[in-house]
Amino acid sequence: MASVRGRELAGVTVALVTPFRDGAVDFEALGRLVEWHIEQGTPIISPVGTTGESPTLSHEEHERVIAAVVERVAGRARVMAGTGSNSTSEAIRLTRFAQRAGANAALVVSPYYNRPTQEGLYRHYAALADACDLPIVVYNVPARTGRNVEPATVARLARFPQIVAVKEAAGSLDQVSELVDRTDLAILSGDDSLTLPMLAVGAVGVVSVVANLVPRDVMALVESFARGDLAAAQAWHRRLFPLSRELLSLAPNPIPVKTALELLGRCRGELRLPLESPDPEMRSALQQALTRYGLMGDERG
């Protein structure tokens, strides 16, 4: 079944990092990142998702980042605010805040650590849909949460008009195909390296980590596919794939992408424990990846 809901969330969403300075959120750097994405034409910005280190932000910081991004965007792009939690009441509170702040949608990761049953997952999102009017994107990333949101559960959730899309990061094209077949939700890739294959089976966009670095290139891939230029989409996939793999394989997200942004001079690479800065070997590997892509000059001589 072709996606008919959540069309406004099709295309490219950047999973925005949260810059820190001396342990605090660096709101000045955050504003610069948002302005850069506006200049690049990034259509949707997603603050305080897991790439934005939401698990280590205080509740007050989480809300301030959402509000700051909405204010800085000022209607020039859509804002898909991360509002997930392993507490249903907390997810409701954050989603209601995002709605009051002016976000366009909420990206809600499935509850992590407590490993609910499929019925528990259904009731979690159903409670959100009942409590909030903001469009909701179900974020399925079982490698991080310990539970897969099964297609049958998503099909039940699709009955709620507030639930409009799924960010799918289970790594299974079969699961994506089943979601497309069983629902009318917009399916968004949650894995940069799988964006083109997921588009091929019915996804309509991506929530991208690598778009922190090269949003125009990610947009070119998605737009090439959308206009039926498969050869161009494949060429962009081949170009982006090695960089995407470097960002996914060297260390847990967002360690590599924040380090890459620091190497490019866009913000500090500071992280919060339990995440830690990469060692010199990893920094060197990232620098080489950025150089191969053409984002940095070759400094070997």
pLDDT tens, residue by residue, 82-107:
999 999 999 999 999 999 999 999 99
Task: Confirm whether 293 is a catalytic residue.
Answer: no
CA-nearest of 99, 38, 67, 56 to 258 is 56
The answer to whether residue 125 is catalytic is: no
Amino acid at the residue 186: A
CB 202 within 8 A of CB 183: no
Provide the pLDDT for residue 249.
Answer: 82
Measured CA to CA, the distance from residue 265 to residue 90 in angstroms comes to: 35
CATH homologous superfamily, domain 7-226: Aldolase class I (3.20.20.70)
The alpha carbon torsion through 50, 54, 56, 57 (nearest 10 deg) reads 160
Rg, the chain, Cα only = 18
CA 27-30-34 angle, 5° bins:
140
SS3 of residue 190 by DSSP: coil
Check whether 225 has a pLDDT greater than 50: yes
**Catalytic one among 122, 167, 258, 293?**
167
- Give alpha helix (H) positions in the chain: 27-40, 59-73, 88-101, 118-131, 142-145, 151-157, 173-182, 195-200, 215-226, 230-249, 255-263, 280-293
- Cβ(167)–Cβ(180) under 8 Å? no
Give this prediction's pTM. Answer: 0.94
Rounded Cα distance, 108 and 83, in Å: 5
Could you say which of 122, 139, 258, 293 is catalytic? 139
pLDDT interval class at 298 (50, 70, 90): low
Given a contact cutoff of 8 angstroms between Cβ atoms, the answer to whether 80 and 165 are in contact is no
User: Would you say the C-alpha torsion 111, 148, 16, 135 has a positive or negative sign?
Assistant: negative
- pLDDT grade for 296, boundaries at 50, 70 and 90: confident
Single-letter amino acid, residue 102: G
**One-letter identity of residue 286:** L
CA dist 154 and 9 (Å) reads: 18
- The confidence band for 4, taking pLDDT boundaries of 50, 70 and 90, is low
Report domain extents, the chain: 7-226
**In the structure encoding, which two tokens stand for residue 39, read together?**
């200049």
For residues 294 and 278, give the distance between their C-alpha atoms in angstroms, rounded to a whole number: 22
* CA 66 remoteness from chain centre: 14
CB distance 205 to 13 below 8 Å = yes
Split at pLDDT 50, 70, 90, the class of 247 is: confident
The per-residue pLDDT for 245 is: 86
> pLDDT tens-digit profile of 123-152?
999 999 999 999 999 999 999 999 999 999
